[in-house]
Structure 1
Amino acid sequence: MEKFSQLNLSKEFLANLNSLEYTNMTPIQQKSLPLSLQNRDLIAQAKTGSGKTVAFCIPLLNKIDVKNFRIQSLILAPTRELANQIAQELRKLSRHIHNLKVLTLCGGVPFKPQVVSLFHGAHIVVATPGRVLKHIKEENIKLENINTLVLDEADKMLDMGFYDDIIEIINSLPKNRQTLLFSATYEKNIEKLALNILKNPEFVKVENEEKVHIKQKFYNVDESNKTALIPALISSNKAKTILIFCNMKITCDKLADDLYDLGLDVLTLHSDLDQKQRDETIILFSNKSYPILIATDVASRGLHIDDVDLVINYDLSLDEKIHTHRIGRTARAGKGGIAISLYNSNDYERVELIKDTFSDIKEENISNIEDDLSYKIDSDLRTIFINGGKKQKLRAGDILGALTAGIGLNKEDIGKIDILDFASYVAINKEKIEYVLDKLSKSKIKGKYYRIYEK
């Protein structure tokens, strides 16, 4: 079974999948969906970028009773970013289900509005463990109607110390439920968790395809020379979208300043940013308005940032598992990619550990880097911000219409449109930015004027 059309789903569900251009299933979807759609408990081992979000969203949506306005599915994820992206995917996959409500419960955002949202009800909750446990303890959430529990990136949640929280949450759920556990690894801690929470589970695994598709290069460099190498590494690999990893927030900020001084447009992503800033940063990078994102390991997993041409480990990761997750940002969905790691004499032990995991790492000499000075490290797009979103009933079609029919912009000059609750972001051909800012600020979108500016 290779195509979504072969699954036992309603015509409406299949039509929506087709409209999203979801035609051929990825390996993890092929292996897991026939089982999970039969309401079987499941342990699925697959890397980030393998299509696992769709693999667990389809079965829970397939059995949602939208007329029963109770929480029927709970999805636990390790980070706010991942929880938000799962919720976005759910909303896309459920466009054929009218009046379905998906609610996210994450830390780092105000607690009281979540209490109000829970009072109004939802069908599906996507949450981080700490925040949903707080709602359970304060009796804000009713879980007696849960029929599906999903643990996404379970290994990451355990690495973050959530084992006890997860068990406490599960003890609050009905025992008669389907449980789907997705993890990039299957080590002793995952096995222990699985034994405690699943009933006669099926086990499916997709082998690590990333090793096949990712070309890895390691450079032994002098610490003082690292930053100056970055433009040459990018130009020699003709990369358009670059993700650079540092181990500390202070290194991210320092590197960002130094690259900016070299004339490069960069974004940073780390835990000092509030949720609004983090969401905006991910949007600006994923819609290709900025060529370079510098991040700590908050970005190494759980982010749907596709088409990253080049990953650079500015700092070598602290262990081989983190290294695997970092380089997995490139070569997503089977596409090729390049990962470059910079190290010095203090890193030899970690380099050997990583080399033990990957047999195809190439040691390179920095003198062989061919810096193409004519190569332009830049983006063709820039992003406009509109101070209206879902809460103002704005839709992508409304914004597209205002830009094309309204002010005469060509469709080819418009990139990705992201609509949040109170804001919208639109990628625009940078040559047309001034024109759009001038014209759109004087025009109505869906009968109303909005504040428009460049990000």
Structure 2
Amino acid sequence: MNNFSKLNLSKEFLKNLDSLEFIKMTPIQEKSLPLSLENKDLIAQAKTGSGKTVAFSIPIVNKLNVKDFKIQSLILAPTRELANQIAENLRKLSRHIHNVKVLTLCGGVPFKPQVVSLFHGAHIIVGTPGRVLKHIKEENIVLSGINTLVLDEADKMLDMGFYDDIMEIIETLPKERQTLLFSATYEKNIEDLATNILKNPSLVKIENEEKTIINQTFYEVLEEDKASIIPALISSNKAKSILIFCNMKITCDKLADDLYDMGLDVLTLHSDLEQKQRDETIVLFSNKSYPILIATDVASRGLHIDDVDLVINYDLSLDEKIHTHRIGRTARAGKGGLAISLYTTNELDRVELIKDNFANIKDDDISNIEDDLSYKIDSNFRTIFINGGKKHKLRAGDILGALTAGIGLQKDDIGKIDILDFCSYVAINKEKIDFVLKELSKSKIKGKYYRIYEK
């Protein structure tokens, strides 16, 4: 029963899922979809990376009436990054239906353009609680047609203090609706929230995913030795995509400088960066243009960064919950993963607390790390920036055509294509970057010239 084809979905929907290479369901999808497709309220406990976005998006798309041009579904998420990724997933999952409008309402971006977009209408809203509530209070949004409410990363939203905002939003929604609550944990605060907003919900749990599929190694080190052993940790594990967590922004920047001085290409992600920079950083790392991302815990949850080979806890996490979310970045959708944690002598108590909550943990000595000096820590791709995006009616196919049929690039030399509202990013074989910049700059994409440069 773990094939999507077994679900009661239209042929067009199944064909679209197949084109997206969604064949077999993850455990959370397999357990939740038969219930949610029957319009039942649901509490689903599953870790980050388990495939829950697809699990709650399929029922939304399945019941969507595109001819009824009003807001039918509302999805609340803790961060703008997660909201944007959910919206992108919804657009892909609904592309077999013409003219579906998905709108994001998040902080960190101008308010007035959102008001204009709301005036023009939407079928699905994805947003952060604070910004959605502000639009409600200013009467910019009509939610009387809502038939589905989703709370994604509900525990994270409560940790961020959004409980009152969520309850205030729910007060404005129709009582007759389907409510789906997804959370990595199911503690007392989540239970209380669920009791207040769901009707006879089914409970689905996918437990201990990280504990069983992530191998963890802990190394005791001196603080001053941490940065110098990073290259050896990477080369000895032959990792190509590495996510390093620090507890403070200043540590991220210092480590980035140290690794850069060692000849490594790195990106940083923390809250001091403007939202545009954060979005771009996520694109450049997820499309494999840079091998290393150094981040604070802003990246430990709510980001869909797949195929991370290695997570390094440069700073030991402040508690076991944060540790869970961090290492979960390297085991998404059931894939195995590897996590390494560095700690100093004065952190032994915290180490023991973390170890009590996980299996597959071993201690090792840093002297046992075999640095493979022949291993090149680098990416095969680099990224070009194009100053045109969705608002210019650019599609991935247009860019792909301009690169292949237009200038003669081979498909194997083209990686991930990310199209944002006003710009696009394309991963290109780094050996072909100069050729692409030269040729594409003097070629038209969909009948128009665009500014193009390397990021």
TM-score by length of 1: 0.99
Partner AA of 1:168 in structure 2: E
Alignment of 1:180-199 (within 5 A): 180-199=180-199
By how many angstroms is 1:381 displaced? 0.4
Deviation at 1:345, TM superposition (A): 1.9
CA–CA distance in structure 2, aligned partners of residues 15 and 376 of structure 1: 40
Whole-Å separation in 2 of the counterparts to 1:252 and 1:331: 23
Residue 65 in 1 paired to residue 65 in 2? yes
- Aligned ranges 1:48-447 → 2 under 5 Å: 48-447=48-447
* Partner secondary structure for residue 329 of structure 2: coil
**Deviation for aligned residue 1:409:** 0.8
Q: Partner of 1:282: helix, strand, or coil?
A: helix
Question: Which runs of 5 or more structure 2 residues have no equivalent in the other structure?
Answer: none
- Cα distance, 1:410 vs structure 2: 0.8
Letter of the 1:270 counterpart: H
Could you report, residue by residue, the CA deviation over 1:391-420 in whole angstroms, capped at 9, with x for unpaired residues? 111111111111111111111111111111
3-state secondary structure, aligned to 1:150: strand
Write out per-residue CA displacement over residues 367-392 of structure 1, whole angstroms, 9 at most, x where no aligned residue: 10101111100001000001101111
Report the Cα distance in structure 1 between the residues aligned to 2:448 and 2:138, rounded to whole angstroms.
Answer: 41
| Structure 1 residue 286 displacement after superposition | 0.5
Q: Which amino acid in the other structure matches residue 249 of structure 2?
A: K
Query: Partners of 1:60 and 1:410 in 2: how far apart?
Result: 37
C-alpha displacement of 1:359: 3.1
**Aligned to 1:302, what secondary structure does the other structure show?**
coil
Question: For 1:241-265, what per-residue CA distance to the aligned partner results, in whole angstroms no more than 9, with x for missing partners?
Answer: 0000001111111111111111000
Aligned-pair CA distance for 1:14: 1.1
Q: Which amino acid aligns with 2:288?
A: K
Q: Percent identity?
A: 84
Work out the CA distance in 1 between the residues paired with 2:38 and 2:186. Answer: 23
Cα distance in 2, alignment partners of residues 166 and 154 from structure 1: 10
1:430 & 1:136 partners in 2: Cα distance? 47
> What residue ranges of structure 1 are gaps of 5+ in the alignment?
none
Aligned residues: 455
Does the CA-based 8 Å contact 2:212-2:359 persist in structure 1?
A: no
Q: 1-side partners of 2:366 and 2:40: how far apart?
A: 52
Deviates more, 1:181-190 or 1:207-216: 207-216
Shift of 1:212: 1.6
- How big is the shift at 1:360? 2.5
Give the Å deviation of 1:65.
Answer: 1.1
- Residue 36 of structure 1 aligns with which residue? 36
User: 2:430 and 2:417 mapped to 1: Cα distance?
Assistant: 15
Give the Cα separation in 2 of the matches to 1:211 and 1:130: 34
TM-fit CA distance, 1:346: 2.3
Which shifted more, 343-352 or 81-90?
343-352
Quote the Cα distance in structure 2 between the aligned partners of 1:405 and 1:121.
37
Q: How far apart are the structure 2 equivalents of 1:334 and 1:198?
A: 29
Secondary structure at the counterpart of residue 43 of structure 1: strand
Offset at 1:213?
1.4
Q: Distance in 1 between matches of 2:322 and 2:209?
A: 17
What's the offset of the Cα at 1:209?
Answer: 1.9
The residue matched to 2:405 in structure 1 has which SS?
A: helix
Q: Does 2:10 correspond to 1:10?
A: yes
For 2:240 and 2:361, the matched residues in 1 are separated by: 23
3-state DSSP class of the match of 1:149? strand
Q: 305-314 or 58-67: which moved more?
A: 58-67
For the 8 Å contact 2:214–2:360, the answer to whether it is kept is: no
Q: TM-score, normalized by length of structure 2?
A: 0.99
CA distance in 1, matches of 2:331, 2:343: 22
Return the alpha-carbon distance in structure 2 between the equivalents of residues 155 and 38 of structure 1: 25
Q: Distance in 2 between matches of 1:249 and 1:17?
A: 40
Distance 1:432 1:258 in 2: 29
User: Deviations for 1:88-124, whole angstroms, at most 9, x for unmatched residues?
Assistant: 0000000011111000000111111111111111010
Alignment check: 8 A CA contact 2:26 2:334 kept: no
Cα deviation digits, residues 277-324 of structure 1 (max 9, x gap): 111101100000000000010100111101000000000001000000
Deviation of 1:137 after TM superposition, in Å, equals 1.1
* Helix, strand or coil at the partner of 1:383: strand
Residue identity in the other structure for 2:211? K
CA distance in 2, matches of 1:351, 1:100: 49
